[in-house]
Structure 1
Amino acid sequence: MKYASIGPISTFLPQRIETNQQLQEEFPGWDMDLIFTKTGIAARHIAEPAETASDLGVQAAQRLFEEHNVDPQSIDFLLFCTQTPDYPLPTTACLMQERLGLRVSCGALDFNLGCSGFIYGLSLAEGLIRAGIARRVLFITAETYSKYIDADDRSLRTIFGDGAAATLIEASDEPTLDGFQFGTDGTGADTLMVTDGGARRPEDAHTPRHRKRWDSRLYMDGPALINFTVGAIPQLVQNIFSAAGIPNSAVDLYLFHQATRKMLEQLQESLGVDSDRMPIALENVGNTVSATIPLLIHDLRKQGRLKKGSKHLLVGFGVGWSWGGCIWHDHYGSEA
């Protein structure tokens, strides 16, 4: 039997950068120092009006092919995770297959999942490879949440950035992903949502949990999301370690979805994890939703912090409510 292994990752961020200083000049009444203290975010990359998540994802995948000498014809399956697809239909992954020059015998699908999407994609790739359906899976995560956010929205504009990551998941003789655990609680759907653009009539749609303060299509109840996260994730982490049969001391780093600094610091405290074991790396990119974990892995690799043979905890959580995690045995990292 073959198993899934996380291989090289390439990323792409839009050229346009929006800094806190720019926002302060645009909105003198916003307390950007206080906002930075809570979010840990100083700048975000923002897609142009004509630039979509698939455009970002294609650029990331093309970089992956070029930087790591990957033949597009060797890809057996394309997984695309996004909550900002190009169209309601067709499947955006089908459009990306043609643009990337993948063979027509390649499978391709989208799945709409946000902050836990990278974990779900890893499990899907693991299933495809274990079943013998694929040996090489191209897993792209890309988001352009900025298209859902009104320019005056202080709560969202200061947090979310656009970006993409392309991850090559390859067949391995040894298991590298272990202890998968997932959770879903649809009662929290009304805390982070976009209610238009789908098939449900506006008059029948869910309503946000509290009054909307801004005109953004995207609504977020930040305090409710923090309460959900701090309540659900410690139990998830315990379940992952139990399923993998290892103690928490056996992992080197806790690689979590990069939501905001405040949320991650609360998780550090709740889990009793030192800050150097749970890196926070969103200052210059913001919360890129499904792309945060691969962007984090990419940055840590460049810094030489991920060593071959090390073990790490991967955890995603948020919109849905949806959460998931696993243990990652890194067979691709730099030599110790």
Structure 2
Amino acid sequence: MNAYLNNISFYLPENTLSNADIERDHPEWSIEKIAAKTGISNRHIAKQDEFSSDMAVSAATIFFNETDVDKEDIDYLILCTQSPDYFLPTTACILQDRLGLNKSIGSIDVNQGCSGFIYSIGLAKGLIVSGQAKKVLVITSETYSKFINKNDKSNKTLFGDAAAVSLVSNECSGFKAKIEDFVYGTDGSGYESLIVKNGGSRFKLESGEDIIDEGNFQKNNDNLYMDGRAVFQFTNLVVPELVKSSLIKNSLSIDAIDKFVFHQANKFMLDKIRAKLKIPQEKFIFNSENIGNTVSSTIPISLRNLFDVEEFESGQKLMIAGFGVGLSYGATVLTIN
């Protein structure tokens, strides 16, 4: 049995954070400098009282309005988020009720970040191929902005909030994108490179303080911390090998891939990966200039935008790859039927 990625819709919060806004708070970072370093000009930011479940509901409302998918046919719900509404219960269970889905469905949260979309559609495919489900609603929803310290100019420039809804099913419809074989990777030794340290069971009673070095904000354990150099080194090392492994797993050459849609970390990092793999510019997608790094939603948003502007023919292939927090990575190929 095959599994197909049929449809994608997404939601972006109304509030935005532009490079001009960041420059106003951090005059040492000009609009041009931010754009040159990240390739990002604007980000969408969730309202103070808007959380992952709210964005997921908004994205799902758009999804059901845009497609002819019947809610009654959904038999499994996967929510990928690292900013759940509560420590427990799973936010997916809350979404089942808020979306008016059947009570006879499975609902789980996947705590995964930048590789989360890959992992989630991999789980969805497994459910379908094993006969446990026929139509799996995969939602990615993240509000990293709520983890970012107000003095952290580096992470401010990168991350935006968003939610995306994708349908993975046993039927070939919509995009008609057959999901091929997956490759995965994990290197937990680098977990501290991208982390919100306080708030879980290990450090739930801790209270973080801003650490300042020579007048510059470094980190606060209550907030998102990223060692940019370490994450870049990890990405530069594993992603080219990930691509090669995915090609081998799917018995393809790199020339057989028509488009490469990778996690939209930042333009500098993606340009380095593209150059290392010698991928032609016209085959490589960068889609985050006006939305920022939306973590697990970057790939589905990029795919939806790509399908909106390009007509794909039967047999064409897209490689999608995610990598980051964990540290984790994964890739697969989509074949247009």
TM-score under structure 1 length normalisation: 0.93
The one-letter amino acid of 1:177's match is I
Question: In the alignment, is the contact (CA less than 8 A) between 2:5 and 2:177 conserved in 1?
Answer: no
In 1, distance between residues paired with 2:279 and 2:36?
20
> Aligned partners of 1:305 and 1:50: how far apart in 2?
39
Residue 197 of structure 1 and its aligned partner are, at CA, apart by 1.5
Residue ranges of structure 2 left out of the alignment (5+ in a row)? 208-212
The structure 1 residue matched to 2:234, chosen from 228, 234, 241, is: 228
One-letter code of the match for 1:190?
E
Partners in 2 of 1:86 and 1:202 — Cα distance?
A: 16
Determine whether 1:39 maps to 2:33.
no
Match of 1:327 among 320, 328, 333: 333
Alignment check: 8 A CA contact 1:300 1:306 kept: no
Is 1:276 the counterpart of 2:282 in the alignment? Answer: yes
SS at match of 2:4: strand
8 Å CA contact 1:91–1:110 kept in 2: the answer is yes
- The amino acid across from 1:185 in the alignment is D
Query: Which among 253, 265, 268 is matched to residue 271 of structure 2?
Result: 265
1:143-292 aligned at under 5 Å gives the runs 143-172=142-171, 176-201=178-203, 213-215=218-220, 217-292=223-298
Mapped partners of 2:51, 2:113: distance in 1:
16
| 4+ long deviations beyond 6 Å | none
RMSD (CA atoms): 1.9
1:258 counterpart letter in structure 2: Q
- Note the alpha carbon deviations across 1:156-186, whole angstroms, 9 max, x for none: 0010000010001110379922231000000
1:118-141: CA deviation from partner (whole Å, max 9, x where unpaired): 111111011100111111000000
Q: Per the alignment, in what secondary structure is the counterpart of residue 51 of structure 1?
A: coil
How far, CA to CA, are the matches of 1:315 and 1:308 in structure 2?
A: 21
Q: Secondary structure at the match of 1:165?
A: strand
Structure 1 residue 86, shift from structure 2 partner: 0.3
Secondary structure of 2:234's counterpart equals: helix
What is the DSSP-based 3-state SS (H/G/I as helix, E as strand, rest coil) of the residue aligned with 1:328? strand
Mapping of 1:78-117 within 5 angstroms? 78-117=77-116
Q: In the alignment, is the contact (CA less than 8 A) between 1:152 and 1:214 conserved in 2?
A: no
% of aligned pairs identical?
Answer: 42
Q: 1:297 aligns with which of 299, 303, 307?
A: 303
What is the distance in 2 between the residues matched to 1:241 and 1:29? Answer: 43
Give the aligned partner of residue 334 of structure 1: none
Q: Any stretches of 5+ residues in structure 1 without a counterpart? A: 206-210, 332-336
> Structure 2: how far apart are the matches of 1:310 and 1:53?
34
Deviating more after overlay: 42-51 vs 295-304: 295-304
The residue that corresponds to 1:69 in the other structure is: 68
Q: Secondary structure at the match of 1:80?
A: strand
- Counterpart check, 1:4 vs 2:3: yes
Indicate if the aligned counterparts of 1:78 and 1:137 stay in contact, CA closer than 8 A.
Answer: yes
Q: Is the contact made by 1:177 and 1:328 (CA closer than 8 Å) also made in structure 2?
A: yes
Question: Is the Cα contact below 8 Å between 1:19 and 1:43 reproduced in 2?
Answer: yes
What is the CA distance between 1:262 and its match in structure 2? 0.4
Given residue 260 of structure 1, which amino acid in structure 2 is its aligned partner? Answer: N
Aligned length: 326
TM-score by length of 2: 0.93
